[in-house]
Amino acid sequence: MNDNKDVLDKGPFFHGTKAELKIGDLLEPNYLSNYQDRKSNYIYFTATLHAAKWGAELARSTSKERIYIVEPLGDFENDPNVTDKRFPGNPTRSYRSTSPLKIVAELGVWERHSDEEIDHMLTSLKELSERGENVIYD
């Protein structure tokens, strides 16, 4: 856990993905991003189930959607890709770290966003990409 006295968030923390992992596995930076064809300098996670669901649903893979409960093993910061963008602060409680995240459990049951919501999000992301605006600050 983040040992800093000024902890940004106490969690619990989630990581949505389509990767099949086991309890005790580590999620680490410098692996291929779930969303773009490049390695990511950070590992991303959230303290809201809503944001974790988007992570699982939007990950580029045909594998099963999964949400893991994770424990940060080092310091972390607000995710600049969402902090102070559409709304002030970090309402999605989204974070990133250069330290690993340890998988402590997998959520067995969770309710997906509707197909319409997912299709709308995918269409919006495609439009951003076409305009060159689907940028992840990594």
DSSP code at position 13: E
In this prediction, residue 2 carries a pLDDT of 45
Q: How far apart are CA 42 and CA 138, in angstroms?
A: 7
H helices of 21-130, in order, are 49-58, 115-130
Residue 3, pLDDT above cutoff 60:
no
In this prediction, residue 21 carries a pLDDT of 94
Q: Note the residue count of the chain.
A: 138
State pLDDT tens for residues 7-27.
678 899 999 999 999 999 999
∠ CA 113-60-20, nearest 5°, is: 85
State how far Cα 14 lies from the chain centre: 8
Domain boundaries, the chain: 13-130
- Given CATH 3.30.565.40, say whether it is the number of domain 13-130: no
Confidence of residue 121 (pLDDT cuts 50, 70, 90): confident
Q: How far apart are CA 30 and CA 23, in angstroms?
A: 20
State pLDDT tens for residues 49-72.
999 998 899 887 788 999 999 999
**Six-digit token string for 134:** 């689907």
CB distance 43 to 27 below 8 Å: yes
Placement of tokens 């649903």 in the chain: 57
**Six-digit token string for 41:** 């300098």
pTM, whole model, 2 decimals?
A: 0.81
